[in-house]
Amino acid sequence: MVVENKNVAFAKEVLDRLIDKQRVALYKPIQVAEILYRARHGELSVSDIRENLEAYRNPSKRWRDSVTRLLINQVSTSSQKYQDNLFEANAIPPAILAVLAKENNRYGGVVERYIYQQFWKKQQRILRLDELLAKATIDDFNLTEFLSAFEYERGIRRSIDKAYEIVVYALFNTLVRHLRIKVTLAANLAQIDLLRAFEDFTRLLLGIDSQSPTVSLDARLYRAGATNAADRGLDIWANFGPVVQVKHLSLTYELAENICEEVAADWIVIVCKDAEREIIERVSQQLGQRVRGIITETDLTRWYDEALLGKFADLLGKDLLGSLRQEFQNEFSYSKTLEGFYKEREYDRVPKSSSPFWCSD
């Protein structure tokens, strides 16, 4: 019994480390919870979990996605390699998962309940920030304080890179729209015969043909996608040339070089912390004209202050805060269905026990 208790305690430490490393969506812990849920209902045995990984490796991704789609209307967009890392030795290998399943079966779903309780705690932190953004005005919003909330709130610290990204996008998108920039695409009229021969192609792909060889579009910026581990460093792209990489985490020289080389674009703008500027500049010198500019957190703070409090605050301020709120909600969806899900699974009825996973709601 003593050995078993030590195994359970160790398994909890491993699970807690996984939870601490996760962004607010908790995709991997929820995948663990859904494997345990199936085991508790007889779809898998503890022996299956320990000895037959292929019985649940891929099905568990579907189980997880069905729950996260219900809770936050999102699913994991990470690479398959990254998702499969869940079962490797540095995460939750089958031997540890089997210990969790046995404890979960013994105490009526206590480990599942524990995971969803941790999800709820992260959700509460997101709700508080969402409420702060909702109440913010152009006179009192402070970008440094907003980003600091992610720096110092343990439950959401892992998501600061995404917070940084939405701050960049909200500002850039607001400025581009209010500048009313147009992008003109025009074919060389000396090649009109070539255009005419392939105009079914150019009409479909470029929006031009021999009758209308020029088209004018509004300049637009787009985010590459929410929480995508397979985007190879690309965060924001434009229909007028540049791509933008937003990097918050500390960079080594080698990592910065890899980031720049992996994006197939001729015009890269990098947004980084002030302390990383020197590394990026050294890499930029080697890459020539590919890196067209570096923007630091100090630059962002100055531009936010100018947009919210400066000469053009009446023009930009309301739209900038509105864009930031919208991007925050897109990236950090707050679950309005968790309470119903929690009760439907009867996690609120799991009896108090001596399991280290049991804690009150």
Measured between alpha carbons, how far is 66 from 346 in angstroms, rounded to an integer?
18
| Confidence at residue 202, expressed as pLDDT on a 0 to 100 scale | 87
170 in the same domain as 240: yes
Q: Which residue has the higher pLDDT, 285 or 101?
A: 101
End-to-end, the C-alpha distance of the chain in Å comes to 28
Residue 339 lies in a domain: no
Residue 288 lies in a domain: yes
Residue 122 lies in a domain: no
Neighbours of 356 (CB within 10 A): 16
Q: Which residue has the higher pLDDT, 161 or 305?
A: 305
Residue 171 phi, psi (nearest 5): -70, -50
Measured between alpha carbons, how far is 337 from 36 in angstroms, rounded to an integer?
21
26 in the same domain as 152: no
Structure tokens at 130: 């969402």
Looking only at the bridges linking them, the beta strands covering 221-223 and 214-218 are: unpaired
| Confidence at residue 206, expressed as pLDDT on a 0 to 100 scale | 84
Q: Across the chain, what does the average pLDDT equal?
A: 85
For residue 267, give every residue at least 6 positions away whose Cβ sits within 8 Å of its Cβ, in sequence order, or none: 241, 242, 243, 290, 292
Full residue range of the structural domain in which residue 248 is found: 138-181+219-331
270 in the same domain as 145: yes
302 in the same domain as 169: yes
227 in the same domain as 147: yes
DSSP designation for 334: P
pLDDT-derived band at 227, boundaries 50, 70, 90: very low
Residue 300 lies in a domain: yes
Total tally of structural domains belonging to the chain: 3
**pLDDT tens for each residue of 58-71:** 999 999 999 999 99
Is the pLDDT reported for residue 289 higher than 60? no
Is the pLDDT reported for residue 231 higher than 50? no
192 in the same domain as 72: no
| Confidence at residue 307, expressed as pLDDT on a 0 to 100 scale | 95
CB 351 within 8 A of CB 129: no
CB 82 within 8 A of CB 230: yes
262 in the same domain as 297: yes
C-alpha pair distances (Å), 80 with each of 58, 75, 83, 262, 295: 10, 13, 5, 19, 32
User: Mean pLDDT throughout 144-149?
Assistant: 87
Residue 112 lies in a domain: no
151 in the same domain as 205: no
C-alpha pair distances (Å), 252 with each of 16, 280, 284: 28, 9, 14
Is the pLDDT reported for residue 333 higher than 90? no
Measured between alpha carbons, how far is 155 from 132 in angstroms, rounded to an integer?
17
262 in the same domain as 225: yes
Of 52, 85, 106, the domain-final residue: 106
CB 99 within 8 A of CB 11: yes
pLDDT-derived band at 232, boundaries 50, 70, 90: very low
Return the percent helix, strand and coil in the chain, to nearest 5: 60, 10, 30
pLDDT-derived band at 321, boundaries 50, 70, 90: very high
CB 159 within 8 A of CB 150: yes
pLDDT-derived band at 1, boundaries 50, 70, 90: very low
41 in the same domain as 166: no
Of 65, 82, 106, the domain-final residue: 106
| Confidence at residue 252, expressed as pLDDT on a 0 to 100 scale | 56
Measured between alpha carbons, how far is 135 from 133 in angstroms, rounded to an integer?
5
| Confidence at residue 334, expressed as pLDDT on a 0 to 100 scale | 86
Neighbours of 302 (CB within 10 A): 13
146 in the same domain as 18: no
CATH no. for residue 162?
Answer: 3.40.1350
3-state secondary structure of 45: coil
Is the pLDDT reported for residue 12 higher than 80? yes
Q: Any idea which of 209-223, 269-283, 328-342 has the lowest mean pLDDT?
A: 269-283
**pLDDT tens for each residue of 257-274:** 565 555 555 566 777 778
157 in the same domain as 201: no
Residue 111 lies in a domain: no
Structure tokens at 76: 């994991």
Of 106, 125, 150, the domain-final residue: 106
Residue 319 lies in a domain: yes
